[in-house]
């Protein structure tokens, strides 16, 4: 399929499709987060979710405000910024909390989450509610 996109419209078409998928997934994830905010939850989880939503909203908004020719490249660079921030913050956690492992687990959770999200239709594919918030509980 990727080869088809490249042959038909070139790399810009592929980049546009990837950027558009990011925006669709972002809107769906933000809608889900908005629904979860209405539920009574642990205050710490609420704060963490808000930080995630704020960062994701900022990343999406920056893309929308960028020149259309630069949107994909900006989106592709943003994970590096967040990875750098995660590493910086993890370096200040106690080693017995295994901060690198937690960062890697959260990274893989986010990576897999993009595959599970469809356009918002009132719910996501996590029907058992196990991951109804950002991150995991250990």
Residue 69 lies in a domain: yes
The predicted structure's pLDDT at residue 39: 85
Residue 122 lies in a domain: no
Residue pLDDT, tens place only, 36-70: 888 878 999 899 999 999 999 999 999 999 999 99
Residue 48 lies in a domain: yes
Residue 52 lies in a domain: yes
Residue 112 lies in a domain: yes
Residue 133 lies in a domain: no
Whole-prediction pTM value?
Answer: 0.74
Residue 125 lies in a domain: no
6 to 2, 14, 39, 127: CA distances (angstroms): 6, 6, 44, 36
Number of domains in the chain: 1
Which range of residues forms the domain containing residue 83? 2-116
Residue 128 lies in a domain: no
Mean pLDDT within 73-83: 97
């Amino acid at each position: 399929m990727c080869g088809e996109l490249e042959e038909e419209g070139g790399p810009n078409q592929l980049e546009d499709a990837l950027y558009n998928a990011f925006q669709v997934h972002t809107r769906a994830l933000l809608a889900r987060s908005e629904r979860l905010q209405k539920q009574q939850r642990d205050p710490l989880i609420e704060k963490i979710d808000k930080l995630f939503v704020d960062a994701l909203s900022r990343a999406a908004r920056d893309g929308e405000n960028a020149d259309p020719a630069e949107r994909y490249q900006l989106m592709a660079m943003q994970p590096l910024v967040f990875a750098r921030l995660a590493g910086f913050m993890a370096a200040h956690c106690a080693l017995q909390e295994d901060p690198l492992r937690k960062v890697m687990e959260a990274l893989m959770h986010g990576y897999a989450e993009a595959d599970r999200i469809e356009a918002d239709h009132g719910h996501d594919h996590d029907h058992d509610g196990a991951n109804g918030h950002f991150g995991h509980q250990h």
